[in-house]
Amino acid sequence: MHAPLILAASRPATPLAGTIRVPGDKSISHRALMFGALAVGETRISGLLEGEDVLRTAAAMRALGAEMVQDGPGAWRVAGRGVGGLVEPADVLDMGNSGTAARLLTGILASHPFFSVLTGDASLRSRPMQRVTDPLAACGARFSARAGGRLPLAVEGAHDPLPLEYRVPMPSAQVKSALLLCGLNAPGLTRIEEIEATRDHSENMLRHFGAKVTVEADGAARIITLVGQPDLRAADVVVPGDPSSAAFLVVAALLVPGSLVRIEGVGLNTLRCGLFATLREMGAALSVENERVEGGEPVGDLVAAHSALRAVEVPWERAPSMIDEYPILAVAAAFAEGTTRMRGLKELRVKESDRLTATAALLSANGARVNIQGDDLIVEGGHKPAGGATVQTHMDHRIAMSALVLGLATPAPVAVDDAAFIDTSFPGFVSLLNGLVAGPAPIAAP
């Protein structure tokens, strides 16, 4: 257990202004370490996110026999063992707070012929794993877990893994990626159908390391086919800035009068940028400069300025491209003119917390009008929140950051009961945001 880190955010004395970089993309960082461990040779990674979630992945791959060396901030070397070459870990693999790490690693372990156990913190142990273990069992792996498929999870990997064919019933890049990682060590073709496109970092990185992956559109659905047992070869990876982290700085700039913030080197994968499209629909002064491609991923510099926002309806089809950004979008919606409706947010109920309920609670506690109808979140922006509450974060880093951004725009400060978990995805968030203000730090201990 740790001592709670209680922080409060107040209206800054000056606008937010400056040019900054956010930490590396968490999704790509996890995958760079995993694919590097499964490749032959030495992979060099730059810009790796060194938050707690990603460091858990590095520790797990090291425990499975890969060599992980940190050369400097964000600079790592990974000496891989080749597809199928990982070894049985000597101890339990503790994935901390990271659902991405736990689910993707389960896919890897399922097709390796040894015994392993995954666990995590209290939040991760409450999250469902059956969405990956049920389809992975078809490769020949056996799983034992607590009720509801919850961690700790024991994995007996398949000795002769079979390729997988599966239609993912909900939009989930984690499930898709876990199945592809399992299929790497199975002969033949693994074929995954997703009902709508989700972030494709796994497909991009598989190609980058030499795997043969094809993607076919079938209406709104996509069919991904992987040729099993490829000779993955080491390939250097440049990790772009995380768009999910940039989202908090963008919304802060939009809400604080007079602000102008440039965020350099942000990943702009179209399957990750639903929030930015939504904010532009709301009237945000948000532009992209210096667009380029790095390591197979589109990258650019985001420029955000204070804006008068208007309400929109966010369609459910957009959810996979912005699933982690709904809490901070809800904060922006609370200051927009009109009523914003965000549709189809069922997936938010199984994140680090029940994010749908937690997002509504953080706004309601601070005076915004918000309600949940089914899987839709509705924010009435004509009644701007006043602040003054302490938000229960439920060990969820995105709820904590969203609440602190809210406090920058409300008349009274907004506090959070524990900000320690922010470092799992965005180390340095508080100091980075405070550094954009010329006057006293707006985020500090109350």
Strand partners, 262: 19, 303
407-427 exposure pattern, b = at least 16 Cβ within 10 A, e = fewer = bbbbebbbbbbbbbbbbbbbb
Strand partners, 225: 191, 214
Return the axis-axis angle of helices 52-63 and 99-110, rounded to nearest 10°.
20
CB 351 within 8 A of CB 384: no
What separation in angstroms does the CA of 218 have from each of 196, 221, 269?
9, 5, 21
Q: Which amino acid is at 318?
A: R
Q: Which amino acid is at 328?
A: I
The catalytically annotated residue of 324, 396, 418, 423 is 324
CB 143 within 8 A of CB 153: yes
The H-assigned helical ranges of 256-352 are 274-281, 326-333
Q: Classify residue 23 by its DSSP letter.
A: P
Among 362, 412, 417, 415, residue whose Cα is nearest residue 387: 412
Is 324 among the residues known to form the active site? yes
Q: Which residues are marked as active site?
A: 324
